[in-house]
Structure 1
Amino acid sequence: MEKGYIHVYTGDGKGKTTAALGLSMRAVCAGKKVFFGQFIKGMDYSELECVSFLPNLEIKQFGRGCFIYNEPTNEDIEAAKKGLEEFKKILNDGEHDIVVMDELNIALYYKLFPMKEVIDTIKNRKEHVEVIITGRNARDEIIEIADLVTEMKEIKHYYTKDVEARKGIEF
């Protein structure tokens, strides 16, 4: 790829991370190298097992659990900042064709790091690197720099009928 584009998957509907994982799998199967970093998340999600099946896929979490129902702690903020520093290196070294910044929008919503730093990080990447950003509440600044924005809209979801999250489907 000569030019990498910026994708944003946002909205209140299910499927943002799933879409990014699908694109990642497609890219790896096409011989591309993918880094999939997850802000906020630190739990044992099934996608962490992908690396056993897809050798050109690396997944790393930069969270300590999932605090989205509470305020982030100093440890949560430090984990996110550490993740952003790692993304800076990965986006600049050019070794990966696709870089997924999973839940970046939520990290920005909680102000875990400055928007300007994130925008600069993305804009200063190697030109061929494709960037995928996921998470609810995409800020206008993120939408503005994006080349593709998809909003997942919830129409109906079985969790309203008290269906618990299921391994391999929701996590």
Structure 2
Amino acid sequence: MGYIHVYTGNGKGKTTAAFGLALRAICAGKKVYIGQFIKGMKYSELDAVKYLPNLVIEQYGRNCFIKNKPTQEDIELARNGLNKIKKVIEDGAYDIVILDEVNVAVYYNLFTAKDVIDVISKVPKERDMEIILTGRYAPQEFIDIADLVTEMKEIKHYYQKGVMARKGIEF
């Protein structure tokens, strides 16, 4: 039986935790699919597919992060991504499916929590597929259906001292 994980909160480490789980799973011979919502920028982790067999990463966002109101393009990219995730889940070829920043996509109304729940409920009954949902602002509906919820809480962050995102650490 597979489980649903939620990594949320305002602290650093949600995507990092999901990628750590992906690395562990791949090293155990499992196949991992990561769909990154909202993200379309070049992040260092995208190069992981060069080194890790059984890993697929796809992005469903523009070359910038949503700061205010999402554009129609943001909405279309996210919804197309959710449709892709639905096919990935229904096909059952992966052991772990990570919906990175899906919580933020719901927060920005790119689609609803119900849309996501409908998609992740398509896990084939015979599969032990783990589903990972990441991002700030996890909706209560995700917390309610999850088997594991971890909240990353920011206590202190060097960003407050003016340190900008660094390659290999934040991107």
TM-score w.r.t. structure 1 length? Answer: 0.96
Aligned counterpart, 2:115? 117
1:59-88 Cα offsets, whole Å, 9 max, x none, are 000001333312110001000000000000
| The 10-residue stretch of structure 1 (64-73 or 125-134) with the greater mean CA deviation from structure 2 | 64-73
- What is the rounded CA distance, in whole Å, between the counterparts of 1:46 and 1:87 in structure 2? 22
- What is the rounded CA distance, in whole Å, between the counterparts of 1:157 and 1:114 in structure 2? 31
The reply to whether residue 89 of structure 1 matches residue 87 of structure 2 is yes
Aligned counterpart, 2:155? 155
- What is the rounded CA distance, in whole Å, between the counterparts of 1:84 and 1:72 in structure 2? 16
Written as runs of structure 1 = structure 2, the 5 A alignment for 1:1-171 is 3-127=1-125, 128-171=128-171
User: Displacement, 1:116?
Assistant: 1.7
| The 10-residue stretch of structure 1 (64-73 or 134-143) with the greater mean CA deviation from structure 2 | 64-73
- What is the rounded CA distance, in whole Å, between the counterparts of 2:110 and 2:28 in structure 1? 34
Q: Provide the identity percentage.
A: 66
Stretches of structure 1 that go unaligned for 5 or more consecutive residues are none
* Equivalent residues of 2:103, 2:135 under 8 A apart: yes
- What is the rounded CA distance, in whole Å, between the counterparts of 2:90 and 2:102 in structure 1? 18
Structure 1 segments of 4+ aligned residues over 4 angstroms from their partners: none
- RMSD over aligned CA atoms reads 0.8
1:119-153 Cα offsets, whole Å, 9 max, x none, are 11112212421100000000000101100000000
User: Displacement, 1:30?
Assistant: 0.3
- What is the rounded CA distance, in whole Å, between the counterparts of 1:112 and 1:9 in structure 2? 19
User: Displacement, 1:113?
Assistant: 1.1
- What is the rounded CA distance, in whole Å, between the counterparts of 1:47 and 1:67 in structure 2? 17
Stretches of structure 2 that go unaligned for 5 or more consecutive residues are none
| Residue identity opposite 1:153 in structure 2 | K
| Residue identity opposite 1:118 in structure 2 | V
- What is the rounded CA distance, in whole Å, between the counterparts of 1:61 and 1:13 in structure 2? 22
SS of residue paired to 1:168: coil
